[in-house]
Structure 1
Amino acid sequence: MKTVKARRPQPAIREGRAADQQRSANKAGSRGKPAAQPLQTPFAKTGATKKKPVSASEAARNRAKNLPDTGRSSTPATGTRKRGNSTVGMSRMIAQAIAKTTGAREVQGIKTPAEVVETTQTTVVHHGDKSGKNVKRAKRMKQRQGSQQELAFQQILREKRLASTEIEDDRLQKVLAYSGLGSRRDMEEVIEAERVTIGGRIATLGCKVSPGDEVRIDGKRVALKWPDRMVRIIMYHKQEGELVSRDDPEGRVTVFDRLRRVYSSKWIAIGRLDFNTTGLLLFTTSGELANRMTHPSFQVEREYAVRVHGQLTPEQMKELTQGVKLDDGEAHFTRIEDRGGEGSNHWYHVVIKEGRNREVRRMFEHFNIMVSRLTRIRFGMFSLPGRLKRGEFYELSETEVLAATKWAGLTIMGQVKD
């Protein structure tokens, strides 16, 4: 037989809710808030009048109007402590953590994220006079990736190293300069000042060192670098207003300020270009390769595109190939080509096998013709790529370096072949 649960009478429910409301109102009044008026039930009497019965839904609406605003619940919890603002506490904890992190960065010398972003955009280069200058690094020219077979062969070449027994002894000033401590001339002055020791003995100018020797400068041990790995070569499109020098007393921008630093060795400029001359400039980590390409005895060709004000006569062009006398001796072009022009500007392509200071300009000035633009477009087997924009560089791949060292008669490590 189905049983039905007995329901409480409706008036009893209303009376219970009224009692709960009265208790809540009393507690709110004790906190300083005005007490809410008790809800009158249909059976409560006030004076001689009798109220109409109120429905359950209407009674609930009336309770909601009269209940105190606790912010969380209609019935405040008893016996609990009021909590503080959690947001304020969290903000205080975050501020303390940031302060600790900033202090730790200052102690360890770590740059803040803002400083790191600023450093990647502009690099400050400091010189001997302690003056800084803002120099933007050269961008790398975009290039396509080679085939899988070529990449695998390049990886094999990249991992090759010379054993210490295969490295020959070399002059001290040359090794110190190769290790990035300064130019050879600077290192010669340091050695002559008796500031360098080898194995505890004072070094002299011209002495040689080998891998494993303990070299110290002013008592501090120096980590020597040796050409024990593959030669690196980069092609840089030099801009006007850049010096081919490591330091400039006047604080002007140098090409070495533009290049990225090499940690295993240092960049060596293969030849020079004048302050206002643009075009192809080669850098390498092999001093032997630089010597092979710049020494007059090897007769390596350099080709220039020359724009002048005026025009040479056929007789003058012939004389330039036969030789003209300059202040520092006779000079001549191996080849000269007329490339035409418009108006007063005329273009020539010339080939020369030496690189004296301002030699091409002085040869044209010999006929009172001023050079308005000079660009080197080829040096030996290296030609200026058309996609290489001014201020950009391109590093040769391992296979290209292998072909270059073979052309120069050197090993892939930059050593002279037996």
Structure 2
Amino acid sequence: MKQPADIILVDDDDDLRHALRQGLELEDLSVIDFKAPADALSILGGNFDGAVISDIRMPQMDGMAFMAKILEIDPAIPVILVTGHGDITLAVEAMREGAYDFIPKPFRVADIGAVTRRALERRRLVLENRALRSELDAGTDMAERFVGRSASITALRDEVALVAETDADVVIVGETGAGKEVIARALHDYSQRSDAQFVALNCAALPPDIFESELFGHEAGAFTGAQKQRIGKLEHADGGTVFLDEIESMPLDLQAKLLRAIEDRTIERLGSNRQIPLDVRFVAATKSDLGEESQAGRFRADLYYRLNVVTLAIPPLRQRPEDIPLLFVHLARQARARYRRDLPEFTPALEADLLAHDWPGNVRELRNNADRWVLGLWNGFSRRADNSVEDLQGPLPDRMAAFEKAIIEAEIRKAGGRLRDVYETLGISRKGLYEKMRKHGITAEDAR
């Protein structure tokens, strides 16, 4: 069902209904009005993303009965009730029965416009949260591993599924915290090697003097302290997958030995001359450009070309902002299970904070913040003039200004610079948005 308007207005008083409609339209809100509640119900559905304003005192069906029928369709549709009687008891009953707000006559159009904008924002958030939950609940295992709906993450899921079916060696390129090991495990789990070992080795974490022994193993007596035979990581992974994380950190002399193992698919333990057949798939991960590293002499070019049968590049979070809320909710649900806590309310302020941040730590940083949110330790972010991020601190006016600026910048990025989408989403006039942008020194290009 196509969205009819921001507001469905119902009042049996023709003069008042027409006057209120004109006033709300001057507030940049789109309105469709009805004299009879039954006519309004005919266009309402669960996907209605607006709000309903209704008089209470009406013949045939009063506002309370009308609201009850609306909430049967969807209990989260905001219903704002208007009455000229100023009945406090009725107001309390209406709120208890599910009304979003209760406005007595006489009222200013600007006041009811402000209430309506808050109701529209709440409705937008409810529908967005439902969409997020629906996508998460309906996702496949692959979608659960690589959460997102952006074109880049969708393409990456397809590439992983395609490459996993092969035995091709792979280089995964991505920034810190982007999820390189998640890709590597998916390549293993979706391959014919899934029943064998997945062996991960962080090349930056091993001291050079034990690196070779870790990789290839050793015989008893091969060196001082080698009291018994030890199976190396490569041999242990026979039949499975070896994940070499931060491979750019591997010493050059070991790179030559690794190259031979990859080419010949055989290894020798330290202290032995026996060739051991090796049936493994190599997946290497790096946050550097191995091509540039090899040209600079910091990485062997022959190893780079031997490993680089397939390259999978992980886009950083800042390049796919549409994925951030979905991924945050997914990580929060995991945190909820770990900490046995209820999920807090996902608010517009939280969404604005998430979208305003650059996420240099990518998914790992997002996961940490999701954990803090679930634990009730969320502090939020605010942008400084130098485009860095800090916790919201200082006097209240400064915090409010910084927060407002962050929200506007986030919405501009989300809308791709289309300012009409921004002021409609924020529930303000075009003039109001331009004034706020001038106040905070925001340009659409800078925000993007």
What interval of TM-score do these two structures reach, taking the shorter chain for normalisation? under 0.3
Structure of larger gyration radius: 1
Question: Which structure has greater helix proportion?
Answer: 2
More strand by share: 1
- TM-score, length of structure 1 as denominator length: 0.20
